[in-house]
Chain A
Amino acid sequence: RKEVEQDPGPFNVPEGATVAFNCTYSNSASQSFFWYRQDCRKEPKLLMSVYSSGNEDGRFTAQLNRASQYISLLIRDSKLSDSATYLCVVIPYNQGGKLIFGQGTELSVKP
């Protein structure tokens, strides 16, 4: 079983739609969680951290469910510019700060 699993998609949605991605992780001792975004042929960049209480950044909402070991990302009012691959990232406890990346979920927002 992979340490971090995501639905690879692609998710094809119209502009203005709400879309949600989930990510599950296997190490219950994981301590930190993030979403990164990777545009086509570009490097990954941090989108947002994921806090236990859930957090929001504009149209983006991230949530963590430790009991079920999953993380989610909700994008409201999708824009064409949101088209990218979204990478779920987990930092396991006591592994020297290594980041474990999911394989990514591809989002395509259509006009």
Chain B
Amino acid sequence: DVKVTQSSRYLVKRTGEKVFLECVQDMDHENMFWYRQDPGLGLRLIYFSYDVKMKEKGDIPEGYSVSREKKERFSLILESASTNQTSMYLCASGTYEQYFGPGTRLTVT
């Protein structure tokens, strides 16, 4: 059974904090993705990675960075969290068919 896991389901952070969201997949996929999902805006791609140590900006990379040190792990970093980064964050891996993790609902206060 394919699996993508995310480090937290719910997270509350303060403005200005550094936030790490971790994602792990067990399918040996080369491609991994980070999205955020907001009502009325749908899923928007933040960053993606085709291979270890490789990263590509998505549509809304501002305020985020990523790290891919191992094939199975893709981390999203909010360098200095802001209230407009309150959202549902979804990690995915795969190519044409993407497998999603359960999501992390991040609230920045």
- Shortest C-beta distance, B91 to chain A (Å), equals 9
Interface residue tally on B, bucketed by range:
20 to 34
Kindly identify which residue among B40, B42, B101, B102 contacts A101, using a CB–CB cutoff of 8 Å.
B42
Closest to B44 in A: A101
In whole angstroms, how far apart are the Cα atoms of A43 and B98 in the complex?
Answer: 11
State whether the Cβ of B50 lies closer than 8 Å to any Cβ in chain A: yes
Which residue numbers of B lie inside 8 Å of A, CB to CB? 31, 33, 35, 40-43, 45, 48, 50, 56, 58, 90, 95-98, 100-103
In the complex, how many residues of chain A place their beta carbon closer than 8 angstroms to a beta carbon of chain B?
Answer: 19
Q: Are A87 and B50 in contact (CB-based, < 8 A)?
A: no
Q: Are B40 and A103 in contact (CB-based, < 8 A)?
A: yes
Closest to A85 in B: B42
Closest to A102 in B: B42
